[in-house]
Structure 1
Amino acid sequence: MSLLQVDGLSIHFGGIAAVNAVSFAVEAGEIVSIIGPNGAGKTTLFNMVSGLYRPSAGRVLLDGQEVTGAPPEALARRGLSRTFQNLQVFQQMTVLENVMTGCHLAEGGGTLGGWLADLLHLPASRAVTRASRERSLALLERVGLADLAGRDAGALSYGQLKRLEIARALATTPRLLLLDEPAAGCNAVETQEIDDLILALAGEGLAILLVEHDMKMVMRLSNHIVVLDRGTRIAEGPPETIINHPEVIAAYLGGHGRIEREARYGASA
C-alpha cells in the first residue's frame, strides 16, 4: 500500500479545470516530483493534497485512509507536512522560535489542558517546552542552521530561510513532506545544500513530494516524475523516461528539446 495515493483528483475554478483527473502514488523513502510549464496546475495540486483546497472530484488517501478535503491541521496530525513556494516564516521571531512553532501538535496545542498548563506555567508545561526546544535545536543542526538559532529569522539569507522552513515542517514529525519549489531563488551552493538535505531525508524513509522548476535538481533527485500540462497529466515515469518523452518536450518548448539541455546543464525550466 502506498503512503500517498492520489486518485483522479480534479478542481474547477469558474468552470475551468485547473487540475483534471490526476492520479499518482508516493511510497515511503521515495522522491516524486511534479513538473510542468507555468500554469500547469502544480501548486494547485499541492494545495488539494495538503488540504488548502477541496477537490471537485477524486480522492486523496494517506496510508490507506481517505483524507480528501481534510484541513491542514488534521493532515499534519496524520503525518503530512509542507513548505510553500512563497516563504511563510515569522521574520521577527528567532530561528529557534520558528522551528518550535512546528512542535505545537506534539505539545498538545489546542487542547484545554494544554492552554491551562501554559497559562499557569505548570511544571508539565515547562517540561514540554524544554523538550520542544531540544527537538528544535536538533532539527536546526539537521539542516545546518544550529549556529543561527538565536538570530532573528529576518536576518537569514534566502537559502537559509528555505532550510528553516524545512526544519519547521520536520518539527511536526511527518511521514510525507511536500516541498513547493524548495530551491527557488537559491544560488548554486544553497541549491546543493537543499539537494543533499532532501536526499538524506528520503534515505531515512521520509516520503517526499516535490514541485521544482530546476530541471537539473529534479532529474538528479527524483525516483519518479509526474508531468502536468494545463492541469492534465501527460506523462509519468523515471527521469530517464521523462527527459526524452515527446509530449513533455512539446509541452515545455514546442518540440525543441531544451528540457534535455536544462537537465544536463542546469538551467531553470
Structure 2
Amino acid sequence: MRLTIRHETAYHYEDQVRASIQYLRLPPHDSDRQQVLSWQLDLPRPVRAQLDPFGNILHVLTLDEPHDAIIIGARGQVEIDETQEAEHESQSALPFLRFTRLTEADEALRSFAAKECRKRKNRSALIDLMQALNQHMAYKPGTTEVDTSAAEAFAGRVGVCQDHTHAFLACARSLGVPARYVSGYLFSAESEHLASHAWAEAWLDDAWYSFDVTNQLARPERHLKLAVGLDYLDACPVRGMRRGGGFEQMHAKVLVTPTLSVQQQ
C-alpha cells in the first residue's frame, strides 16, 4: 500500500513570542516495512536534519526573532509492505525495558499484566494483553492530557491512543519484555479516526512486533512509522518551547490517503 501524507501544524499566539524552539520528528525513514518514496518539510526557515539517540530523524527549528505564528508542514509518499509483520534492527532493545514517569507500572498495572499473560512472554500473550487493555480503557478524547501517566489513565479507565500505548508499555516492561512508543500515521476509511496515531512495539524473537491497542491490531498493515522512544515525549512529531506569546491556539490537519503502487496498477 502506498500512502500519501499531508500534515500541517499551525500555532497562533495572543501576543508576540520573543523566541521559540520546536523539536520535529516528522520525516519517516526506510525500514523492513516501509520505503520512503518522497518527503518534504515546509518550515519557516531551512533546518539541517540530525539523528536523535533513538535513531529518529530530528529537525530543531529555532526562531530568535519575535513572531505571532508558526506553521509547520510535512508531505510525501511512503510504500508500506503489508506482508511484513516485524522489523529487524541491529541496535539493542534493552534500553526499552526502562520505565519513565509516563510509563511507570504501579501495582494495578503489574497485576493486570500478570493476570492476562499468565507468565507467558510471547506474541500471543501480548495480543491478549492488547485486547484486554482495549476493553479496560475506553477510547474517549478529551479525558486525558499529554502528561497523563499510564497509571492515571488505567485507573480512570479512559484515554486515547497515547494512553493505550503508555499502559501497554508499562505492562510489557513489567513482564521483562522490551517495548517502545511509536508515533506515526494510520490510514482509516472511517472519518472519526484521527490520521495521527500512536501504538506500541515489543521485542520478541529478535524483532519488533506492533501492537495497536486502540484499534486492536497486531499487524501494521496501514501504519506509517515516524519515530520511536521510551514514551510520548521521546517520539511525538512536534514538541516545542517558547518565551512569551500569551494564550496559544494550535490546529493540526492530517490527511492520509492510499494510492495504487506500481505493482498494483
TM normalised by structure 2 equals 0.26
The higher relative CO (CA closer than 8 Å, separation ≥ 6) is in 2
User: Which has more helix, going by share of residues?
Assistant: 1
- What is the TM-score normalised by the length of structure 1? 0.26
